[in-house]
């Protein structure tokens, strides 16, 4: 069926937040309202036949297109009694399953990728095997396994295809992990809060293999709060994409080294961070928060970055880049903000909200004959600069 999710409104039981917190504090785990419908002017979907461009201050012109979307399946988003998804925080996918990190419930919920049916639920609050204290990140591993980073328990938990614990890796030497992705040999690339060497390569057995600086040399002196990064694996796990959450662009890691960085279509400098030190502590505060890519996903030859930026289309943009060259390709403009994004086999998996309740949505661009969603038959959203 054609995807027509209605525009959403907040409810008293689940108030809407306009921005996701930079520090990802557990107390602020609120799912953003989302829909994965076509363009902003969906009622006029057949009116215009091409793509338009617009430019935010200091940015390269975006090429916004509006291909026809089909909803494949949805889970959740109905009633308060549907407790499969409480407060989703991270999303991962492989050929068989879609995994949602339900952080407020301290668990992972696995759905079958084909039809969205429930596969298994694993985890609860605690410090024992299979329990979580502050789960923050997911990564799919070879052979259908899944890894969950839990900094408060200082470990990464590995689950098998049935949701059973098979291994626990210590994070005591890696540091406070915020995002991660897996490579082909099962090793994990971690984005941490370390001041000088924030990127850590960990073996499948938990040994620290190497530490890296960010591939922007001048960011070494930037406070960790200002240079947070999101990680996502290529589908074949031959490389990981590292995308700055607050700044300029992204780079790829092939297991040995980072590529030269690529610039976002809407780049801007990192925000200023106010660092205050006392004899016993150090606190950081972002003076002006300018969130860039708050989630990133890779599928086939494309890198997709869910973007906020400085326009009135904030959080409704998905910018697409060529995975080989880093070249900007096009942008999809959605009706409402995306909370989490994953891709596999041409499908988009999106964490959304419907009438105040979380929803997991699987969608695909309807084949229209020809190669491109780059030249859709739909209309183009009206995204204007709005700093």
CB-based contact 226:214 (threshold 8 Å): no
Residue 178 included in any domain: yes
pLDDT tens for each residue of 221-236:
777 777 889 999 999 9
Q: Where are the beta strands (DSSP E) in 105-223?
A: 107-112, 118-122, 124-125, 131-132, 137-140, 146-150, 155-159, 165-170, 177-182, 188-192, 199-202, 208-212
Residue 282: predicted pLDDT: 66
Distance separating alpha carbons of residues 337 and 37, to the nearest angstrom: 11
How many domains are contained in the chain?
A: 1
The whole-angstrom distance between residue 236's C-alpha and the CA centroid of its chain comes to 18
Residue 82: predicted pLDDT: 63
pLDDT tens for each residue of 306-357:
998 888 888 889 999 999 999 999 999 887 678 899 999 999 999 987 777 8
Residue 3 included in any domain: no
What pTM does this model have?
0.79
Exposure string over 291-326, b if 16+ CB within 10 A, otherwise e = bbbbbbbbbeebbbbbbbbbbebbbbbbbbbebeeb
Q: Say which residue the tokens 């940015």 belong to.
A: 59
Residue 2 included in any domain: no
Residue 371 included in any domain: no
CA distances from 308 to 262, 313, 347, 370, 386 (A): 18, 7, 22, 30, 12
Residue 376 included in any domain: no
Residue 286: predicted pLDDT: 62
Q: Could you tell me how many helices (H) and strands (E) the chain has, helices first?
A: 0, 30
Pull the structure tokens for residue 331: 């942008």
CA distances from 309 to 152, 241, 264, 282, 292 (A): 31, 19, 10, 28, 5
Intervals of the chain under pLDDT 50: 1-58, 370-387
The domain of 143 spans: 26-365
Residue 226: predicted pLDDT: 73
Residue 6 included in any domain: no
Residue 335 included in any domain: yes
CATH number of the structural domain spanning residue 36: 2.120.10.30
Residue 377 included in any domain: no
């Amino acid at each position: 069926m054609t995807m027509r999710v209605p525009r959403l409104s907040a409810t008293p039981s689940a108030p809407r937040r306009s921005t996701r917190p930079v520090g990802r504090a557990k107390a602020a785990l609120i799912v953003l309202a989302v829909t994965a419908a076509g363009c902003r002017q969906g009622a006029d979907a057949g009116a215009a036949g091409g793509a338009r461009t617009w430019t935010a201050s200091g940015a390269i012109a975006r090429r916004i297109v509006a291909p026809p979307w089909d909803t494949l399946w949805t889970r959740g988003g109905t009633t308060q009694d549907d407790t499969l998804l409480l407060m989703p925080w991270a999303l991962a996918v492989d050929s068989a399953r879609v995994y949602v990190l339900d952080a407020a419930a301290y668990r992972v919920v696995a759905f079958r990728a084909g039809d969205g049916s429930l596969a298994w639920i694993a985890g609860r609050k605690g410090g024992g095997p299979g329990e979580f204290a502050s789960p923050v990140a997911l990564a799919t591993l070879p052979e259908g396994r899944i890894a969950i980073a839990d900094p408060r328990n200082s470990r990464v938990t590995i689950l098998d295809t049935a949701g059973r614990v098979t291994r626990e890796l210590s994070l005591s030497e890696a540091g406070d992990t915020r995002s991660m992705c897996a490579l082909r040999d099962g090793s994990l690339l971690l984005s941490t809060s370390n001041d000088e060497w924030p990127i850590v390569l960990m073996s499948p057995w938990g040994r620290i293999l190497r530490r890296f600086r960010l591939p922007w040399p001048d960011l070494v002196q930037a406070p960790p709060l200002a240079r947070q990064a999101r990680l996502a694996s290529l589908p074949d796990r031959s490389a990981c994409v590292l995308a700055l959450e607050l700044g300029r662009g992204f780079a790829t890691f092939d297991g040995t080294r980072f590529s030269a960085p690529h610039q976002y279509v809407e780049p801007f400098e990192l925000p200023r961070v106010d660092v205050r030190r006392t004899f016993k502590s150090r606190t950081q505060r972002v003076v002006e928060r300018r969130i860039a890519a708050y989630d990133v996903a890779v599928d086939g030859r494309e890198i997709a970055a869910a973007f906020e930026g400085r326009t009135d289309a904030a959080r409704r943009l998905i910018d697409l880049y060529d995975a080989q060259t880093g070249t900007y390709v096009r942008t999809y403009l959605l009706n409402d903000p995306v909370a989490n994004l994953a891709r596999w086999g041409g499908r988009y998996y999106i964490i959304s909200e419907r009438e105040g309740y979380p929803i997991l949505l699987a969608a695909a661009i309807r084949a229209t004959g020809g190669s491109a969603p780059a030249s859709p038959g739909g209309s183009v959203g009206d995204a204007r600069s709005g700093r």
